[in-house]
Structure 1
Amino acid sequence: MKKRVLALLSCAALAAASITGCSSQKPAESAAASAEAESTTGAPSKEVGDYKIALITMDSIDQHWVTLNEGAQEEAKELGVTVSFMSPNTKDDAQQIECVNNAVAGGYQAIIVAANGPDAISSALKEAKDAGIKIVYVDSPANVEAEATFSTDNEAAGTTAGNEMLKALKDAGVTSGKIGIVNVNAATDSTVKREAGFRKAFEGTDFELMETQYGEGDAAKSQTIAENYITQGVVGIFGCNEGSTTGTGNAIKASGNTGIIGVGFDKSDAIMNLINDGYLLCTMAQNPDLMGRDGVEAAVRALQGETFGGLVTDTGVSVIKAGNTEDAAGTTDVTATKDWKIALITMDSIDQHWVTLNEGAQAEAKALGVTVSFMSPNTKDDAQQIECVNNAVAGGYEAIIVAANGPDAISSALKEAASTGVKIVYVDSPANVEAEATFSTDNEAAGKTAGDEMIKALEAAGITSGKIGIVNVNAATDSTVKREAGFRSAFEGKGYELMETQYGEGDAAKSQTIAENYITQGVVGIFGCNEGSTTGTGNAIKASGKTDIVGVGFDKSDAIMNLINDGYLLCTMAQNPDVMGKEGVKAAVRALEGEELGGAVSDTGVSVLKKN
C-alpha cells in the first residue's frame, strides 16, 4: 500500500523531455525524481502511539498463517505498534470466537482477522466493532463491515487452477474422466470461492466433477479423502488450501500413480517438495506476507482516523510449478554480480501508470546496483516501440523489460532480441514471444470486478436496464482486451445492452469525444479500459453535467482520483505498477545471473478505489 506517485511537476518535466521516437532516460539525481507526493493510499504517520492490535487467523499452524504473521510483525516493528498473534491451534469456530472475545477483553484497539467462516464469527466481530474496535480482514472476510480487506481474488485463482489441470490433462491425451475436490468446509469464504472458480473452468468439458469432500484443512484427513478418490479412478484432484493440497500430494505419492494430476493452493515446504518430486503439478501461491503487512498498515491508519470505505485489495497469486518453485515474484534474495544494462520499454513514457512503473524499476535497480534505462516512446505507437527494442539490442543491453503495445506487432523484434541472448521480461502486457517471467494484473478478473461495481451502483439507483458504453485503447493490446472481456462477462444474463466498443488509443482527448458520443445516445454507464480512457470518460461525464451516469475505469492518476472525489467517476481499478517495475528488474537480474524462471506469471494485484 505504500505507493508513491511523482508530482504533476515531475510528470510535466518528463513530458517536456520526451522527443519523438524513443526516449532514453537513465537514472539520475534530479529535482523531478525527488518531487514526490503521497498517493491516496499513502503510509501512516510515524507519529503513532503503541497501538495494540490482535491478529486472529484460522489457525496458528499452517505455514500460510505463519507467513502472514511474519509480514504483520515486520510491519508492526516498522511502525512501532504491537501485534499479538492470538490464533487457535486448529480450525474451530468456537476457538476463533473465543480469540475475538479475548481481544476485546484485553483492550485491543484493532482486530485483523481471517474468518474461518463468514457467519459463525460475525456476532463476536459485531460486538467488537460496536465497542469501537477497528476490524480489518485478511484472506477471508466475515459478514460484518470492515475498514478494509486484503485477500486473493479466490474465484479467479480457482479458475486458473482448473485451467492448469485441464491443460495438463489434454497434453497427456486425457479428455474425460473423474475429478476430485478436497475442500476445507462448506463455509470458509476463500476456499468456497476457489472451488467455484475451479468448477467454472470445467464447464462445457467432458470431465465429471465429483461431489466435494471436506477435510477441515487437515493434511491427514485430506490424504484419506484423496486416497478414496484415487480408488474411484480419478484423473485429477484439486486441493483448496494448504492442508488439502499436502494431503492430495501425499495420496498421489502413496498410490504411485503419477498420471493423476494434482493441483493445489498455498505454498509450504511440503507442497514445494511434492511439486519438485512430481506428485503435484502446481500450486496457486498467495502472498500472505503482503496480507499481513498491509493489514497492519490499514489497521494503524484506521486507528489514526483515516477512512477506507471497505476497500478490497487483491494481493495477487502466482502459479508455481516444478522448475520455478523459487517463483519469480521474488521469494529469494537477488544479487547482481555486475552492473547489468537493462532496457525498460513501456507503451509510452507519459501516462502516470508507466511513470510509476519506472519509479519502481529505478528503485530496485538502485538497490541491486544495476542500470535500467527508460527507453519508451512518447506515444502509443507500434513502430516506435519496435524501434525502441532495436535500439536496445544495438546499444548492448543485456535484458529488456517490456509492456507490449500489442501481442503481435512487437513480437518479431523481441524474437530477434532473444535470439541474440537478450533476456525478455514482461510487465503489464505480454507479446507472443516466450519470456523469462511476466508480472501483470489478472486483467480479466479485474475487468469483471469493474463490471460488478457498475452493476451494483446501477441497481442501487434502481436502474436495471439501459445502454453501456466501453472505451478501449485498441483491439490488440492484450491487457485492455482482457479487461473488456471480463467487464462484458459481468453483464451476462443482465438486462443491459453493451454497445459496440470504441477505441481512443489511450488518449484522454479522443476518449472524451467517444464518451461524449455515448452520452448523446443515452447510456447509463461507461467503462474506460485504461488511464487515458478513464480520464476521458470522467471528463465527458463532467462536461455533460449528468452525474447519474456511472463511470468506472482502470488505472490511477491524480486526474482520475480528482474525478472520483468530485463525483464524476464511481471508481477505478488501481493496479500496482511500481510492483511490476520492481519485480521485473529482479526477474531480469535473476535471469542474467543464470536462474531459470520457467516463464512464471505473477499477478501483481488490483484495488478498487472509490471516493474518500
Structure 2
Amino acid sequence: MKKKILAILMVLTLVLATFVGCGNSAKEEDNKDSKDATYKVAYIARAQSDSFAAWLANEMKAAAAEYPDMKLDIFDGQADDEKENAAIENAIANGYDAIIVQPNNGEAQRPYVEQIVDAGIIAITTNARIDGIEGASSVDANPYTQAEVNAKAAIDQVPQNGRVVVLKGPSGNFHADERLKAWKEVFFAARPDVKIVGEDFANWNKDEAMSLMEDWVTSQGKIDAIISMNDNMAAGALEVIKDNSAYANTLSYGVDGTPEACLLIEQGKMTSTCLQSAIDLAKLNMESVHKLLTGEETQINTDIDAPLITKDNASEYVKIYKDRGLITE
C-alpha cells in the first residue's frame, strides 16, 4: 500500500514541472512549442498541496493538448488567497484570451474574476464555481449531489447511536458548504440518533485532518464513522487509525474518487466516495473554453456526473488510474 500511495504522490508531484510562479512568465520552451497557437489560456490552480487540485492541473494540461490552436499556461495559487489573486491580476495584465480560475476561497476570488470580465477576457470558474458573476462561465460538479450519494448510503451503514466525526473543507468554499449541507439534510436529518463527537475545518488538507483525528481519538475514544468533505482529509484521518484494531470497523466517506481513495476502498479500508473526475472536468473545461474563444458559445454553465464508488466498483476506477499511470505496481 505504501508503495502504491508513494507512486500516486510521485506522479501528482510531476505537475510541479508544469507550474510557474504566480509572477513569472510561462516557460520559454512551452512558448516555442506553441508559438503558432491562436489563443492564450491561463489556468489558475488552487494548490499543489491538494491531491485533487494537482491531479486536475495535470489533466488540464493533457486536455489542452487536444486543441492545437490553444496554448495553456498553469499557475499555482499555493492555497493562498493573496497569491491566487495576484496570479489572476498578472494573467489579466499579460493579455490572456481566457482565464480559468479554480478558487481557493470563492468570495476572496470573486472581485478578481469580476476584473477578468471587466477586462473583456473570457472567464471560467471551476471546482468550485463562483455563482452570480455576470458574464462569467462555469464548469464544475454538483457538490450537493456528490455528498448526497454518500449520505444516502450512510443512513443504513452507520450503526445505531453511532459516534461520528466531520471533516470540513474551507469555510465559504462552495463545494465545502454544499457537501456539508447535503450531509445535514440527508443523513443527519434521517439519523437523529447519531452523535457528532468531533467537527472541524481541515481545509482539504491531509495533514490537518491527521492532526484533528489524533485529537479526537485521544479525547473521544470510539468513532464509528469519518464523514469527510473530500478524499484527502478522509485518507489523513484513516492514516491515524490504520494500525489500531479498535477502529477496524470505522466507516469513512469522502468525495473526489482520487486514486488513493479508490485503492483504500478496494482494500476495504474506506467505505465510499463520489467520483469527481479530474479527467472529465479537465476535458469539459477545455471544450468549453474553446467554444467560448471561437464564438460557438457566449456563456456556459455545466456540470460533470457524480457516480458513487464503493467496494463493488472501486476496481474499475483503479484500473483506469493504472492505465493513466496514476497508480503503479
Q: Pick from 493, 497, 502: which aligns with 2:190?
A: 493
Per-residue CA distance 1:447-506 (angstroms, 9 max, x = gap): 111112223322xxxx21222211112211111211111112222131212356311122
Q: Pick from 207, 213, 227: which aligns with 1:527?
A: 227
3-state secondary structure, aligned to 2:286:
helix
CA positional deviation for 1:590: 1.8
Q: Distance in 1 between matches of 2:206 and 2:63?
A: 30
CA positional deviation for 1:367: 1.9
3-state secondary structure, aligned to 2:66:
helix
Q: Pick from 176, 187, 206: which aligns with 1:480?
A: 176
Q: Pick from 166, 190, 199: which aligns with 1:470?
A: 166
Q: Pick from 370, 374, 381: which aligns with 2:74?
A: 374
Change (3 A) 1:26 1:465: farther
Q: Distance in 2 between matches of 1:540 and 1:373?
A: 37
CA positional deviation for 1:341: 0.5
Q: Which amino acid aligns with 1:464?
A: Q
3-state secondary structure, aligned to 2:65:
helix
3-state secondary structure, aligned to 2:105:
coil
Q: Alignment RMSD, CA only?
A: 2.8
CA positional deviation for 1:553: 0.9
Q: Pick from 554, 558, 563: which aligns with 2:255?
A: 554
Q: How does 1:230-241 map to 2 (within 5 A)?
A: none
The answer on whether the counterparts of 1:448 and 1:487 sit within 8 Å (CA) in structure 2 is yes
3-state secondary structure, aligned to 1:453:
helix
3-state secondary structure, aligned to 1:408:
helix
The answer on whether the counterparts of 1:472 and 1:480 sit within 8 Å (CA) in structure 2 is yes
CA positional deviation for 1:435: 4.7
Q: How does 1:434-453 map to 2 (within 5 A)?
A: 434-453=134-153
Q: Distance in 2 between matches of 1:447 and 1:604?
A: 14
Q: Which residue of 2 aligns with 1:421?
A: 120
Q: Which residue of 1 aligns with 2:213?
A: 515
Q: How does 1:137-536 map to 2 (within 5 A)?
A: 339-369=38-68, 370-377=70-77, 379-432=78-131, 433-458=133-158, 463-491=159-187, 492-494=189-191, 495-499=193-197, 501-520=199-218, 521=220, 522-536=222-236
Change (3 A) 1:514 1:544: farther
The answer on whether the counterparts of 2:141 and 2:304 sit within 8 Å (CA) in structure 1 is yes
CA positional deviation for 1:550: 0.7
Q: Distance in 2 between matches of 1:400 and 1:353?
A: 20
Q: Distance in 2 between matches of 1:26 and 1:454?
A: 47
3-state secondary structure, aligned to 1:446:
helix
**Structure 2 residue 277 is matched with structure 1 residue 601:** no
**Structure 2 residue 15 is matched with structure 1 residue 14:** yes
State which drifts further: 428-437 or 412-421. Answer: 428-437
The answer on whether the counterparts of 1:450 and 1:572 sit within 8 Å (CA) in structure 2 is yes
Change (3 A) 1:357 1:24: farther
3-state secondary structure, aligned to 2:38:
coil
Q: Distance in 1 between matches of 2:202 and 2:122?
A: 32
Q: Distance in 1 between matches of 2:23 and 2:183?
A: 33
Q: Which amino acid aligns with 1:13?
A: L
Q: Which amino acid aligns with 1:561?
A: C
Q: Distance in 2 between matches of 1:536 and 1:503?
A: 13
Change (3 A) 1:365 1:14: closer
Q: Which amino acid aligns with 2:97?
A: E
Q: Which amino acid aligns with 1:487?
A: W
Q: Which amino acid aligns with 2:310?
A: K
CA positional deviation for 1:540: 2.4
Q: Distance in 1 between matches of 2:155 and 2:144?
A: 17
Per-residue CA distance 1:12-68 (angstroms, 9 max, x = gap): 333478687578776979xxxxxxxxxxxxxxxxxxxxxxxxxxxxxxxxxxxxxxx
3-state secondary structure, aligned to 1:405:
coil
Larger RCO (alpha carbons 8 Å, 6+ apart): 2
3-state secondary structure, aligned to 1:342:
strand
Q: Which residue of 1 aligns with 2:272?
A: 571
Q: Distance in 2 between matches of 1:11 and 1:541?
A: 25
CA positional deviation for 1:582: 1.6
CA positional deviation for 1:350: 4.2
Change (3 A) 1:562 1:371: same
Q: Distance in 1 between matches of 2:290 and 2:139?
A: 14
3-state secondary structure, aligned to 2:15:
helix
CA positional deviation for 1:593: 2.2
Change (3 A) 1:413 1:559: same
3-state secondary structure, aligned to 1:353:
helix
CA positional deviation for 1:419: 0.7
Q: Which amino acid aligns with 2:63?
A: E
The answer on whether the counterparts of 1:361 and 1:585 sit within 8 Å (CA) in structure 2 is yes
Bigger-Rg structure (1/2): 1
CA positional deviation for 1:7: 5.2
Query: More helix by proportion, 1 or 2?
Result: 2
Structure 1 unaligned runs (5+)? Answer: 1-5, 30-336
Structure 2 unaligned runs (5+)? Answer: 1-6, 31-35, 316-329
After TM superposition, the score normalised by the length of structure 2 is 0.79
Q: Distance in 2 between matches of 1:524 and 1:591?
A: 48
The answer on whether the counterparts of 1:14 and 1:350 sit within 8 Å (CA) in structure 2 is no
Q: Distance in 2 between matches of 1:516 and 1:608?
A: 28
The answer on whether the counterparts of 2:164 and 2:198 sit within 8 Å (CA) in structure 1 is no
Q: Distance in 1 between matches of 2:173 and 2:119?
A: 26
Q: Which amino acid aligns with 1:367?
A: E
Q: Which amino acid aligns with 1:452?
A: K
Q: Distance in 2 between matches of 1:548 and 1:7?
A: 26
Change (3 A) 1:359 1:541: same
Q: Distance in 1 between matches of 2:140 and 2:206?
A: 23
